[in-house]
């Protein structure tokens, strides 16, 4: 069975790059608060989601996940990271994983906005490496999209500047 993955900032090239890197076990769907052409919405692969500053952002994303039977959310917008990190327990109650570091870890991680294509990506879900290779055991337990340093001793969270 394939898991549906909601990747936010879906109209951005980085979101498309993340989707292409996912293994075949994951079916990417794209969410965006930006204008999405109706033809893409009708095609079923794009969803409209509210802007992360909207009061009901988290609840609307959760509603879309439940309506579409989505099991994983990958928030990529920099303004989405904290609200979605705080909402991880809520989503977990419904069996939905949010691949973003926990709030206390998120504030300590370096962040790279709009990473260039040549940067390698590592996609982590807690103790599982979804894409890329295990960088360093000290990063076990992290979730999200990262790029490793050249030495592999450090990683940076990758996101899209809103």
Cα Rg for the chain, rounded, in angstroms? 15
pLDDT digits (tens, 9 = 90+) for 18-65: 999 999 999 999 999 998 899 999 999 999 999 999 999 999 999 999
pLDDT of residue 1: 64
Residue 79 pLDDT > 90: yes
Phi and psi dihedrals of 40, rounded to 5?
-75, -40
- What strands lie across the sheet with 144-148, from one edge to the other? 111-113, 155-159, 144-148, 122-125, 128-131
Whole-angstrom Cα distance, residue 21 to residue 133?
13
> How crowded is residue 132: how many other Cβ atoms within 10 Å of its Cβ?
16
> Taking residues 94-123, what's their average pLDDT?
93
Q: What is the model's pLDDT at position 149?
A: 80
Asked if residues 83 and 53 have their Cβ atoms less than 8 Å apart, the reply is: no
**Which CATH code, of 1.10.10.10, 3.40.50.2000, 3.20.20.70, 3.40.50.20, is assigned to 3-159?**
3.40.50.20
Q: List the one residue out of 127, 126, 122 whose CA is nearest residue 146.
A: 122
The H-assigned helical ranges of 28-149 are 38-42, 57-68, 78-86, 88-93, 103-106
- Would you place residue 138 in the very low, low, confident or very high pLDDT band (cuts 50, 70, 90)? low
CA distances from 72 to 2, 119, 151 (A): 11, 23, 30
Instruction: List the domain boundaries for the chain.
Output: 3-159
Contact 159, 77 (CB under 8 A): yes
Spatial CA neighbour of 109 closest among 151, 139, 69: 139
């Amino acid at each position: 069975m394939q898991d549906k993955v909601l990747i936010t900032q879906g109209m951005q090239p980085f979101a498309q790059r993340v989707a292409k890197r996912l293994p075949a076990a994951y079916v990417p769907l794209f969410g965006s608060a930006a204008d999405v052409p109706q033809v893409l919405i009708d095609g079923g692969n794009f969803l409209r989601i509210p802007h992360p500053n909207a009061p009901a952002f988290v609840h609307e994303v959760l509603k879309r996940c439940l309506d579409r039977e989505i099991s994983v959310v990958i928030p990529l917008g920099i303004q989405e990271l904290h609200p979605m990190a705080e909402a991880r327990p809520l989503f977990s109650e419904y069996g939905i994983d949010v691949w973003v570091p926990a709030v206390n870890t998120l504030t300590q991680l370096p962040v790279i906005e709009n990473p260039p294509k040549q940067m390698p990506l590592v996609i982590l879900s807690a103790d599982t490496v979804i894409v890329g290779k295990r960088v360093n055991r000290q990063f076990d337990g992290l979730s999200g999209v990262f790029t490793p340093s050249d030495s592999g001793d450090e990683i940076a969270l990758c996101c899209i500047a809103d």
